[in-house]
Structure 1
Amino acid sequence: MSELEKLLEGVDMEWKALGDISEIYGGLKGKSKEDFTDGNAKYVSYKNIFYNIEVDFDKLDDVKVASGESQYEVRYGDVLFTGSSEIAIEAGMSSAVTSNSDIKVFLNSFSFGLRFNSDIEILPEFSKYLFRSHFMRKAIAKTANGVTRFNVSKKSFKKLQIPIPPIKIQKEIVRILDTFTELTTELTTELTTELTARKKQYSYYREQLLTFEENEFESLGNLAENLDSKRKPIASGLRESGVIPYYGASGIVDYVKDYIFDGDYLLISEDGANLTARKTPIAFSIGGKNWVNNHAHVLKFDTYAERRFVEYYLNSIDLTPYISGAAQPKLNKRNLNSIKIPNPSIKEKQRIVNILDKFDTLTTSISEGLPKEIDLRKKQYEYYREKLLTFPKQVN
């Protein structure tokens, strides 16, 4: 018998529609851009809700609210939701208000709030876990409609049914999940700290290994075969769906039926904000059958060591001198070919790549090393959370 089954033994579980047990209210109305500077109150933003399981009053921004202005104030016990998202499952992300505020707090206009009726016994601390559970996320996603952006339908949202276990059981579930959350957070913090240290160590050795004398450099155009002329962009509406990865400037953007390349290549971003922001690597290796559009350069090398060596080096240096355009950064073919790359012996490249590959696996691979361990901890937490929040449905 599971932990939840023991808790629920002999208990009649109530399920009620949100529209019958709560009030749904909107966010701030009639506000202009100027109202969000030097305000006299605080407001919960879209990001506050989306990224946090509970409202963090220390991270709220200011808003101007005039005396007597009719706006809903956020209260202890409310559950706040994002109204829309580009992904259906992320529309309606929730954040529970689990503490009182001494100041007035409002909700931004891109979100909506749910306030339970006074006769409904449901703990805010229980709500924060309930509405972030997978089964509730899926149920809310089904109320979202749209094509390019999904919006939660309030009418459908009100019909959603939620379980309302007795307060005693809610408290026990909260106690268990709070304890598990604390342990998971501690373990994740330890692993993240270690991962950060490993990344610093990796950066140090990468810098040491990729530092060469000026006379050891060669232009990239002389080290690789450029296959840009074979690229073929396909408009999204004309692509035939398949299993072949279709690459753009920063990675896979779609899967198509056919391919134009088959083998191991190094792709390098040709344009886009990431050339300067560098949130993701601008150089990345690919293998097998693939299709590449005109937003990524395609380079072919004779050996694995040569390709990976250039990949590591390009991702470690500042490419600003080679990038043109301000509004739309671009690394054109001519500038790409002119980038100076260290060119030690193939034996030395192999030695350096072997070392950096090990660090790369340890620090960045999701299938090996510390990132995998962190991911497993999170999945373990989610597994037990779902077990504790999966209640038997009423039999009518």
Structure 2
Amino acid sequence: MSRIDELIAEHCPGGVEHQPLGAVGEFIRGNGLQKKDLFDEGFPAVHYGQIHTKYGVWTEETFSFTLPTIAAKLRHASYGDLLIATTSEDDEAVAKATAWLGNTDVVLSGDAYIYRHSLDPRYVAYFFQSEPFQEQKKRYISGTKVRRISGSSLAKILIPVPPLEVQREIVRILDTFSKMEAELEAELEARKQQYEFYADQLLTVERDIQRVKFGDVATIVRGASPRPIQAFLTNQADGVPWIKIGDVPAGGKYITTTAQCVTPAGAAKSRRVKPGDFVLSNSMSFGRPYVSKIDGYIHDGWLAISNFEQYYVRDYLYYLLRSKAIQEDFARKAGAGTVKNLNADIVRSVVIPLPPKEDQERVVDLLDRFDALVNDISTGLPAELAARRQQYEYYRDKLLTFKPLETAS
């Protein structure tokens, strides 16, 4: 029997009482603090947006501060209070919370609540992450583009309230999982930095290596868009793949499928790419190369790169185009404005190294190993991290699900 089972058998064999959050605490709305009021020193302060991006289950210090004169006018959270962001553009992030464990008070912005309660603070914060909480909150979220939940609605959500000793044991176990996950995240980040360093080293060639204009060793052309595109989209069997940015997985290398197809007439007005050709974005993921594994067609937000095989090993060219030096050259030539335009002439003009193919293959072999370690979701560190997260989520939800206390009728 596990320690949790022992504690439950000892303290609550008949089940655990479930109470509304409002019955074991109170929700206090944050007020007044704006982004312009945040500084690098002063009185500890948290803006609701930072809860989404910077804080985990609990924290002992803030990333931002405000002036004491401003803090004096705001509502304060104390040790053990929960800081809750109550608005977001996606439902899952609504009511993201972090427990404040600092040794001073902290002030909180609007669009957020302070939850002052009588439970273990980290236990409550873990509960706010759990599936039981997420399922209950769905019925209370409102709004269209900006989704939100009120303090009065949060107060209605039921939380299991086991004895404090059980709460603390649950926190101990989940903290252990969180620590392992954090260690893996740190290792993955360190490996990514190491990968980028060695990639730059391996792709920086000797001065006596031949250099060529990219356009002299490859065919580089802009995509084309049949217009209006809606008139050419089709679900018919004779449709051909229509490649868009959204068809490429985040951080992915290959284009393997598309969400939409165009008619043969639309294809005739577009630009064809064959398996093995590169497509290069000149818009959203600026300058990012991808390798097509399908026969498809691209719009004018892409460039197509082909007929390079005489000079380059495909994977070497992929790594070369992703390298810091080439990406910086793309950006510099595309201009300094907010909207950069990476057109075909610019890409053709970029001067790139052309080492012997045996050297290219050696570099590919080394970088493939690093790449698998830091990016492969099936074998590398990302796979291990994903497995840890899945394990953590399973045990978190299991540990925070209790048999309700049976009451006499």
The TM-score, its normalising length taken from structure 1, stands at: 0.78
Residues 172 and 321 from structure 1, CA distance in 2 versus in 1: closer, same or farther, beyond 3 angstroms?
closer
Counterpart residue number, 2:270? none
Cα shift at 1:11: 4.1
Counterpart residue number, 1:206? 203
Counterpart residue number, 1:220? 215
Counterpart residue number, 1:284? 290
Counterpart residue number, 1:78? 81
Counterpart residue number, 1:127? 124
* 1:298 counterpart = 2:295: no
Distance 1:322 1:339 in 2: 9
Counterpart residue number, 2:46? 44
Contact conserved, 2:220 with 2:348, CA < 8 A, in 1? Answer: no
Counterpart residue number, 1:25? 28
- 128-137 vs 140-149, greater mean Cα deviation: 140-149
Equivalent in 282, 288, 312 of residue 319 of structure 2: 312
Counterpart residue number, 2:109? 108
Distance 1:239 1:35 in 2: 52
Contact conserved, 1:13 with 1:163, CA < 8 A, in 2? Answer: yes
Distance 2:261 2:276 in 1: 17
Contact conserved, 1:73 with 1:107, CA < 8 A, in 2? Answer: yes
Contact conserved, 1:40 with 1:63, CA < 8 A, in 2? Answer: yes
Contact conserved, 2:30 with 2:114, CA < 8 A, in 1? Answer: yes
Residues 294 and 184 from structure 1, CA distance in 2 versus in 1: closer, same or farther, beyond 3 angstroms?
same
- 316-325 vs 300-309, greater mean Cα deviation: 300-309
Distance 1:324 1:67 in 2: 43
* 1:268 counterpart = 2:304: no
Distance 1:230 1:290 in 2: 13
Counterpart residue number, 2:97? 94
Equivalent position SS for 1:19: helix
Output the aligned Cα RMSD: 3.8
Distance 1:66 1:247 in 2: 48
Contact conserved, 1:43 with 1:106, CA < 8 A, in 2? Answer: yes
Counterpart residue number, 1:144? 141
- How many positions carry a matched residue from both structures? 376
Residues 232 and 4 from structure 1, CA distance in 2 versus in 1: closer, same or farther, beyond 3 angstroms?
farther
Counterpart of 1:85 in structure 2: which amino acid?
S
The TM-score, its normalising length taken from structure 2, stands at: 0.76
* 1:61 counterpart = 2:65: yes
Cα shift at 1:224: 2.8
Contact conserved, 1:76 with 1:100, CA < 8 A, in 2? Answer: yes
Deviations 1:331-359 (A, max 9, x none): 12221222223344555544443443333
Distance 1:54 1:13 in 2: 25
Deviations 1:242-281 (A, max 9, x none): xx78522994599634256663432222135x54xxxxx7
Q: Percent identity?
A: 24
Residues 222 and 77 from structure 1, CA distance in 2 versus in 1: closer, same or farther, beyond 3 angstroms?
same
Counterpart of 1:56 in structure 2: which amino acid?
E
Cα shift at 1:231: 7.2
Distance 1:334 1:364 in 2: 32
Contact conserved, 2:37 with 2:67, CA < 8 A, in 1? Answer: yes
Matches within 5 A, 1:183-262: 183-186=180-183, 189=186, 193=190, 196-208=193-205, 213=208, 215-220=210-215, 222-226=217-221, 228-229=223-224, 247-248=244-245, 251=248, 256-258=259-261
Residues 126 and 266 from structure 1, CA distance in 2 versus in 1: closer, same or farther, beyond 3 angstroms?
same
Residues 151 and 293 from structure 1, CA distance in 2 versus in 1: closer, same or farther, beyond 3 angstroms?
farther
Counterpart residue number, 1:361? 372
Counterpart of 2:304 in structure 1: which amino acid?
V
Distance 1:215 1:72 in 2: 66
For structure 2, the residue ranges without an aligned partner over 5 or more in a row are 236-240, 251-256, 268-272
Residues 15 and 6 from structure 1, CA distance in 2 versus in 1: closer, same or farther, beyond 3 angstroms?
same
Counterpart of 1:167 in structure 2: which amino acid?
L
* 1:177 counterpart = 2:184: no
Cα shift at 1:15: 1.0
Matches within 5 A, 1:320-339: 320-339=331-350
Distance 1:141 1:124 in 2: 23
Distance 1:308 1:24 in 2: 56
Distance 2:137 2:87 in 1: 11
Cα shift at 1:155: 4.3
Contact conserved, 2:278 with 2:289, CA < 8 A, in 1? Answer: yes
Equivalent position SS for 1:207: coil
Distance 2:145 2:217 in 1: 44
Counterpart residue number, 2:353? 342
Distance 2:313 2:197 in 1: 24
Equivalent position SS for 1:25: strand
Contact conserved, 1:48 with 1:56, CA < 8 A, in 2? Answer: no
Contact conserved, 2:78 with 2:100, CA < 8 A, in 1? Answer: yes
Residues 19 and 282 from structure 1, CA distance in 2 versus in 1: closer, same or farther, beyond 3 angstroms?
same
Equivalent position SS for 2:278: strand
Counterpart residue number, 2:157? 160
Cα shift at 1:41: 2.7
Cα shift at 1:63: 3.9
